[in-house]
Structure 1
Amino acid sequence: MSFSISALLLFGLLLAMLIRSKSVGIGSAVVAVLFGYYLSRTGASAPIDQVISAIGNAVPKFGK
């Protein structure tokens, strides 16, 4: 059985867990979200998306 999870959802849950465990404060979380938002609007978003997709495609193959 295989399922797909959005990277946005995954990172959102990770950030929520870090905030809840008080590893990251609210101010740091806001900075992280804003940095991600502004990074996605630059030319770096396409290469980052390609790297994340390549890692996502390689992980299931690694376990076989």
Structure 2
Amino acid sequence: MAVSLSLVLLTAVILVVMIRAKSIKLGPALIAALFGFFLASTGVAPGIRTFISQIARMINGISL
């Protein structure tokens, strides 16, 4: 749960920065957000969630 909440906040911040920097317009940003929302309710969502979790674990395992 903590990973998914962190990713939601991180992507929200990136999206706001991109909109403010005018590197993405509000319309395409809303379409992308809606796409993500509807994608979360499909059968693909568990696979995506597993992939993101594995990436997070891999990044967490990297020691500097």
Q: By the TM > 0.5 criterion, same fold?
A: yes
Question: Residue 45 of structure 2 corresponds to which residue in structure 1?
Answer: 45
Identity across aligned pairs (percent)? 34
CA-based RMSD: 1.7
How does the TM-score come out when normalised to structure 1?
0.86
Give the number of the structure with larger relative contact order, counting CA–CA contacts within 8 Å between residues 6 or more apart.
Answer: 2
Looking at structure 1, the residues matched to 13 and 44 of structure 2 have their Cα atoms a distance apart, in angstroms, of: 23
Question: Residue 28 of structure 2 corresponds to which residue in structure 1?
Answer: 28
Looking at structure 2, the residues matched to 17 and 63 of structure 1 have their Cα atoms a distance apart, in angstroms, of: 29
* Uncovered stretches (5+) of structure 1, i.e. residues with no partner: none
* Uncovered stretches (5+) of structure 2, i.e. residues with no partner: none
Question: Residue 15 of structure 1 corresponds to which residue in structure 2?
Answer: 15
How does the TM-score come out when normalised to structure 2?
0.86
The alpha carbon displacement at 1:63 in A equals 2.8
The alpha carbon displacement at 1:46 in A equals 0.4
